[in-house]
Amino acid sequence: MIKVLVAEDSSVVREFLVYILGSDPGIRVVGTANDGEQAIEAVKRYRPDVITMDIHMPKMDGLDATRRIMETDPTPIVIVSGSTDPHETETTFRALEAGALAVLKRPNGIGHPDHETTTRELVQTVKLMSEVKVVRRWPRVRRDAPATRPAEMGLARAPAQVRIVAIGASTGGPPALHTVLAGLPKAFPAPVLIVQHMAGGFIQGFAEWLAQSASLPVHVAAHGETILPGHVYVAPDEHQMKVEHGGKIVLTRDAPENGLRPSVSYLFRSVAKVYGSAAVAGLLTGMGRDGAEELRLLKEKGAVTFAQDKDSSVVHGMPGEAIKLDAATFVLPPDKIAAALVNLANHRGRNINGV
């Protein structure tokens, strides 16, 4: 039985969430909180396995409550937000940076056509997050971290040029990506393509949050656009993203892979086909194995590949699977991944043209 604490200031929404979660035989709601201060006290009293956390609450908001809980009684936290407005989601992503594991839209009400889908997503996410036993707070990026040289990566030599960087992430990915992108300089000569598994409606806000700390422009990818050096492209909701010859992004409604759309596997397979040894690709923290087999394919084609190390991962599923497959050229924490990308790009020439 999974013990859940519901922190939500609206009594109507709070009762709705309690009803949804309590309807599952594997979940028991052990307590509720009207504000952040009550949430902190309730964690000590009830010792929940998972917390659903609202962001906008009186006395203490969900961000500060998340920080305090992660400092004193680390517990898996799922942010349940009533807004997906990009201009209002900054605090939500700061909560992920502070240690929350996932963000979801508040489930739609009874009678809404998406009610069953959104309630099922909440229940499944709570169950999955209850399996995360260690929740880590992310250190700030160490800008003075020494760059990892090609020789230290086990590379006999660095290939001629980097034409593209492709990254996949899931649970715990936003703060890891935040760290990687914050460590890349404005003059970074390659485009960066990202697939981040995330609940629908938050990708635009996620891209804007990443852009606040990145030196590179961050966009939600658009169909048919030309991939530009020194730009970051995030796969949009409910679309598969791939690259094609000529250096363009293609978005499709192709079927989910590994149950996911966008899928890291889908992107990586196209990168392997189009860019081959001129690519750098890697997997960050996340549940499952999306992208692991395709990362091995990229490595076999001569690309430099990486996986996030276990100690810095919230969940070592995706990168761990890649490591088991010997798909990762090197294994590093996010800040050192950024330094390694800079080093590789600097050693591989600067003629970053379309394929």
In this structure, the dihedral spanned by the alpha carbons of residues 46, 52, 58 and 59, taken in order and rounded to 10 degrees, is: 40
10 Å CB burial of residue 86 (0-12, 13-18, 19+) is middle
User: Is 197 marked active-site?
Assistant: yes
Question: What single letter denotes the amino acid at residue 336?
Answer: K
Q: Which residue has the tokens 């009830």?
A: 46
User: Is 170 marked active-site?
Assistant: yes
Residue 174: alpha-carbon gap to chain centroid = 4
Beta strands in the chain, from DSSP E residues, in sequence order: 2-7, 27-33, 50-53, 77-81, 102-105, 164-169, 192-196, 218-220, 232-234, 240-244, 248-252, 279-283, 304-308, 330-332
Residue of 130, 170, 270, 313 with catalytic role: 170
Paired tokens of 172? 């715990």
Residue of 61, 81, 178, 197 with catalytic role: 197
- Distance CA(308)–CA(120), nearest Å, equals 30
Catalytic residue IDs: 170, 197, 290
